[in-house]
Amino acid sequence: MNPDSEDALRQSIIDSCLWMNTSGLNQGTSGNISVRCGDHMIITPSGIPYDQLHPDMLCCVPLNADPNPVARNRPSSEWRFHQALLNAKPDQSVVVHAHPAHVTAIAVQRRSIPACHYMIAAFGGDDVPLVDYALFGSSELAELVTKAMAERSGCLMANHGAITTGNSLARALWRMEELENLARVYLLAQSCGTPKILSNAEMAEVVEAFGDYGPTD
Ligand SMILES: [Zn+2]
């Protein structure tokens, strides 16, 4: 990637982080974003407020090795699952992680989101799965996330938050926003009765019809 386009990419990651916070999808510095860049990933640094980020403060981490221990800024503490997902999903170039309130409320109950709405198909199947609890930043969490997302582009993380992927920043962010909306609808529907869940056959039909539905960059 030439230096100009890598600079533009770094700025678009910062803009995406700022948008996640102003849209209410994330709070403080708890979310993080990575984008594949050749055999590396550009990832947000640990513990720096988004509104203080400059493009050169983002971290460049190899996809096949640990981060440089003497780099000026440390990558997000969640770099392991970002790296594992980008390696496991060569067709996906972006990983977004956040703690949206409604998704996290369901994850705190340790439940997945079933096919309560046809838009669940935006995540590749008939549910958005729940990943078992593991310590943030751990290799165990990276393994659990990668396994749960083998056939999916979104998941809930027990007592933690959510992850989405995409082949562009726009698509990964769209999925995170959509996931939070689905979680809100599911919780609202449960508050006034028992939600009806779409059948496997109905969802298979939607997944088939979906194709590459969603925004492009
Ligand atoms: Zn987190």
Instruction: Tell me the per-residue pLDDT of 25-72, one tens digit each, with 9 for 90 and over.
Output: 988 888 999 999 999 999 999 989 999 999 999 999 999 999 988 888
CA 211 → CA 81, 175, 198, 205, distances in Å?
26, 15, 19, 11
Question: What integer is the mean pLDDT of 148-164?
Answer: 97
- Residue ranges of the domains in the chain? 3-210
Q: Say if residue 2's pLDDT is above 90.
A: no
What is the amino acid identity at position 203?
M
- Report whether pLDDT(198) > 60: yes
pLDDT of 134 above 70: yes
Give the Å distance between the CA of 76 and the centre of ligand 1.
Answer: 10
**Ligand 1 geometric centre to CA of 204 (Å):** 31
149 has a pLDDT exceeding 80: yes
Identify whether 78 is a catalytic site residue.
Answer: yes
Residue-level pLDDT at 4: 75
Residue 23 Cα, ligand 1 centroid: separation in angstroms?
17
Cα–ligand 1 centroid distance for 192 (angstroms): 30
Mean pLDDT value of segment 77-96: 97
Question: How many angstroms from the chain centroid is the CA of residue 118?
Answer: 20
E strand residue ranges, 8-63: 32-37, 40-43, 59-62
Q: Phi/psi of residue 99, each to 5°?
A: -120, 60
Name the phi and psi angles at 35, rounded to 5.
Answer: -135, 130
How much distance in Å is there from the Cα of 184 to the middle of ligand 1? Answer: 19
| Residue 123 pLDDT greater than 70, yes or no | yes
Residue 217 clears pLDDT 60, i.e. is over it: no
Q: Which of 6, 78, 177, 178 is catalytic?
A: 78
Q: Which helix (H) or strand (E) holds 97?
A: strand 94-98
pLDDT at 194 over 80: yes
Q: For residue 36, give the nearest of 78, 71, 64 by alpha carbon.
A: 64
pTM of the predicted protein model: 0.95
- CA 6–ligand 1 middle distance (angstroms): 26
Whether the CB-CB separation of 90 and 41 falls below 8 Å is answered with no
Tell me how far the alpha carbon of residue 32 lies from the centroid of ligand 1, in angstroms: 8
The type of residue at 97 is H
Topology of the domain comprising 3-210: L-fuculose-1-phosphate Aldolase (3.40.225)
Instruction: Please check whether residue 17 is in contact with residue 52, taking contact to mean a CB–CB distance below 8 angstroms.
Output: no
